[in-house]
């Protein structure tokens, strides 16, 4: 059996034995003290009673000696008493207090004189008012002094004196008168032999009680061990076995007391633990099953992800291929048109010049379209990356103005560029910001027939604000919300009239948003438009 390791372990049996022994010892000592006192008191009463009897006899027997003053006779009486082992001293004195005879035991040094301070005797005595008993502390011992007056009887023949005839059988006749003529004193003390005999008896009784109590104690301990310690040990073993995992272990204590309650509670606990473990095992199995399911789903997700990544890769490859496939023939178209226009193949007939211009313009428009579609596709696929660098806003505005001015002038529009002086250096992709502003300005030129195009750049808090205002046809309210979506223009007739598919605004929006900025438009049909965007002065690289 395994027990918890405890230093200075004191088992229950030892505790029982110790406490029962202590109980027995205290009881025995108490009983002993009680009985000793009780027995000694009894012996003392007996002693005093004997003393009273002796002193009464002495007083009676000494009457004659005192009357006649015969000291020799009195000495004989005294000597006879002194021989008694519990008589310490004997004194006979006359009425004046003069000592007529005295004697003392050998161990006594002196007889206590009359009038020595004394306590009244408190023990039980038979009623005898003449005999007095007192206690005297004398020579380190308690002396019980008993005294009795010595009296004599004077009988006067009163009847005779008065002349009455005496009746036959009437006993004492005449008036008796008692007169005290002396005092008999005696000192008594408990003899050592008497006391030790008494105490020996008490000791015997106590020894007997101790032996009996010891036997009872051992029996009680054995009983307690059977009733308490064994079941507890079994419970200790039980808990140890539960700890080792033997959840089916039960204790077999069935007593109808607290220990039994504990054992039953223990068994119920073990049962509950067993059930709990079973539930946990079931849960564990469920967890394993769910884990497997999760792993399976993760695997499926990973497969789908891989497929998506492959699809995305395919899309990129498709875009690259399309770019190549479209650009290569377009290169020949544009190149040869240019060579024709440059009269490389000889002079051109004048009537061919106009169609040749149409070819050139449309080839370039097609080129722009391809570039826009590819740009948008790249942005949406997440392939477009900004190249961040320091840039200057005046350069951006100037670059846009240089590109747009010839187009505007061709349509008779005025182009105004206003850049706030003293703007700080910006950080971002200048090429993309320029393109965004260019797209807005290009649109403005495209949709304005008369008036002016105003390009403004200024600072607004921690951002640059770019604005393009025109005096064009404006945008209807119902399309304002989706004007930055791809392929949106006010209406189909506009598309027909002005050409282009409206990718410029979508691309501008993407570029601005990639810089962490925003783009918006304020417009009403017939009242011109104000397109604007803001980008942080120092754009944060997102990757």
Partner 1 sequence: MRSGVILHVEDNPSNRKLVRDLLATRGYRLVEAETGEEALVLAERERPRLVLMDLELPTLSGLAVTERLRAHPELGGVPIVAVTALAFRADVERAKAVGCDAVLTKPYDPMDLLRLVEHYIGPPPTEG
Between CA 519 and CA 443 the distance in angstroms is: 15
Rounded Cα distance between 153 and 22, Å, is 65
Instruction: Judge residue 162's burial from the number of C-beta atoms within 10 Å of its C-beta, 0-12 exposed, 13-18 middle, 19 or more buried.
Output: exposed
**Considering beta carbons, is residue 194 or 378 the nearer one to partner 1?**
378
Q: How far is CA 16 from CA 209, 220, 254, 258, in A?
A: 19, 9, 23, 18
Query: Quick one: which of 344, 482, 493, 542 contacts partner 1 (CB under 8 A)?
Result: 344
Min dist. Cβ of residue 429 to partner 1 (A): 11
Nearer to partner 1, 336 or 520 (CB): 336
Q: Is 250 in the site for partner 1 (CB under 8 A)?
A: no
Binding segment toward partner 1, per CB under 8 A, in 89-97, 117-125, 330-338, 389-397: 330-338
CA distances from residue 327 to 186, 335, 361, 513 in whole angstroms, order as listed: 159, 12, 16, 29
Backbone angles phi, psi at 467, to 5 degrees: -130, 140
Q: DSSP character for 205?
A: H
Q: Least distance from C-beta 329 to partner 1, angstroms? A: 7
Q: How far is the CB of 360 from partner 1 (least distance, A)?
A: 11
3-state SS of 102-165 is EEECCCCCCCCCCCCCCEECCCCCCCCCCCEEEEEEECCEEEEEEEEEEEEEEEECHHHHHCCC
Give which of 41, 40, 39, 73 is closest to 58, Cα–Cα. Answer: 73
Find the shortest distance in angstroms from Cβ 542 to partner 1: 16
Question: Is position 330 an interface residue for partner 1 (rule: CB under 8 A)?
Answer: yes
**Please, what is the minimum distance in Å from the beta carbon of residue 316 to partner 1?**
9
- Report the run of H or E that residue 467 belongs to, with start and end: strand 463-470
Binding mask 353-372 for partner 1 (x = CB under 8 A): ----------x---x---x-
Q: Closer to partner 1 by CB, 246 or 325: give it.
A: 325
Tokens of 182: 């002396």
Of 263, 374, 419, 514, the residue at the interface with partner 1 (CB under 8 A) is 374
Shortest distance, CB of residue 534 to partner 1, whole angstroms?
A: 25
> Rule CB under 8 A: is residue 331 a binding residue for partner 1?
yes
User: Is there binding between residue 351 and partner 1 (CB under 8 A)?
Assistant: no
Closer residue to partner 1 (CB): 155 or 339: 339
Q: Provide the token pair at 510.
A: 């993407």
Least CB distance to partner 1 at residue 413 (A): 26
Interacting residue with partner 1 among 339, 348, 352, 524 (CB under 8 A): 339
State the residue for tokens 């590109």: 403
Minimum CB separation from partner 1 for residue 507, in Å?
14
Query: Which three-class secondary structure state does DSSP give residue 469?
Result: strand
Binding of partner 1 at residue 219 (CB under 8 A)? no
| Residue choice 279, 296, 338, 540 for contact with partner 1 (CB under 8 A) | 338
Q: How far apart are CA 506 and CA 512, in angstroms?
A: 10
Q: Minimum Å distance from CB 485 to partner 1? A: 24
Q: Which is nearer to partner 1, 133 or 337 (CB)?
A: 337
The residues in 376-395 that bind partner 1, with binding defined as CB under 8 A, are 378, 383, 385, 387
**Residue 402 makes contact with partner 1 by CB under 8 A:** no
Q: Of the ranges 316-324, 440-448, 479-487, 527-535, which one interacts with partner 1 (CB under 8 A)?
A: 316-324
Cβ neighbours for 326, distance < 8 A, ≥ 6 positions apart: 370
Cα-to-chain-centroid distance, residue 486: 64
d(CA 217, CA 18): 10
Residue 503: CB minimum distance to partner 1, A: 16
CB 433 within 8 A of CB 504: no
Number of residues located near partner 1, criterion CB under 8 A: 27
Residues in touch with partner 1 (CB under 8 A):
320, 323-324, 326-336, 338-339, 342, 344-345, 363, 367, 371, 374, 378, 383, 385, 387
């Amino acid at each position: 059996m395994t027990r918890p390791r405890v230093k200075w372990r004191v088992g229950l049996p030892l505790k029982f034995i110790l406490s029962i022994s202590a109980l027995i010892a205290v009881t025995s000592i108490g009983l002993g003290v009680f009985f000793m006192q009780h027995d000694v008191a009894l012996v003392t009463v007996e002693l005093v009673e004997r003393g009273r009897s002796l002193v009464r006899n002495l007083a009676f027997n000494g009457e004659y000696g005192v009357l006649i003053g015969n000291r020799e006779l009195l000495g004989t009486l005294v000597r006879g008493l002194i021989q008694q082992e519990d008589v310490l001293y004997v004194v006979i004195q006359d009425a004046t207090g003069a000592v007529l005879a005295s004697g003392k035991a050998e161990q006594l040094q002196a007889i206590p004189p009359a009038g020595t301070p004394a306590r009244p005797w408190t023990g039980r005595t038979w009623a005898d008012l003449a005999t007095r008993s007192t206690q005297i502390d004398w020579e380190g011992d308690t002396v019980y002094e008993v005294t009795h007056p010595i009296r004599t009887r004077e009988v006067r023949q009163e009847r005779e004196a008065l002349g009455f005839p005496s009746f036959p059988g009437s006993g004492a006749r005449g008036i008796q008168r008692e007169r005290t003529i002396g005092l008999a004193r005696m000192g008594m003390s408990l003899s050592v032999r008497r006391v030790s005999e008494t105490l020996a008896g008490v000791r015997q009784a106590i020894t007997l009680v101790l032996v009996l109590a010891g036997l009872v104690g051992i029996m009680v301990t054995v009983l307690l061990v059977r009733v308490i310690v064994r079941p507890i040990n079994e419970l200790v073993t039980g808990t140890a076995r539960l700890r080792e995992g033997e959840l089916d272990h039960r204790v077999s204590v069935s007593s109808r007391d607290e220990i039994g309650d504990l054992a039953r509670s223990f068994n119920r606990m073990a049962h509950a633990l067993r059930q709990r473990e079973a539930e946990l095992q079931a849960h564990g199995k469920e967890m394993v099953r769910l884990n497997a399911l999760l792993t399976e789903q993760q695997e499926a997700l990973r497969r789908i992800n891989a497929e998506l990544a492959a699809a995305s890769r395919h899309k990129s490859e498709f875009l690259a291929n399309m770019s190549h496939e479209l650009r290569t023939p377009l290169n020949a178209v544009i190149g040869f048109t240019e060579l024709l226009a440059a009269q490389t193949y000889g002079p051109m007939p004048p009537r061919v010049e106009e169609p040749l211009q149409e070819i050139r313009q449309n080839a370039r428009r097609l080129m722009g379209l391809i570039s826009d579609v590819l740009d948008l596709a790249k942005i949406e696929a997440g392939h477009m990356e900004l190249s961040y660098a320091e840039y200057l806003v005046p350069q951006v505005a100037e670059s846009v103005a240089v590109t747009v001015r010839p187009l505007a002038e061709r349509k008779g529009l005025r182009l105004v560029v206003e850049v706030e002086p003293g703007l700080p250096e910006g950080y971002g992709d200048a090429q993309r910001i320029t393109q965004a502003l260019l797209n807005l300005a290009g649109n403005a030129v495209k949709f304005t027939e008369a008036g002016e195009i105003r390009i403004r750049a200024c600072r607004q808090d921690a951002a640059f604000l770019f604005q393009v205002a025109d005096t064009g046809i404006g945008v209807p309210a119902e399309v304002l919300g989706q004007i930055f979506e791809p392929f949106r223009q006010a209406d189909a007739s506009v598309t027909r009239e002005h050409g282009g598919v409206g990718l410029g605004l979508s691309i501008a929006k993407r570029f601005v948003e990639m810089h962490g900025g925003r783009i918006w438009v304020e417009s009403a049909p017939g009242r011109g438009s104000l397109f604007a965007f803001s980008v942080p002065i120092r754009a944060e690289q997102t990757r």
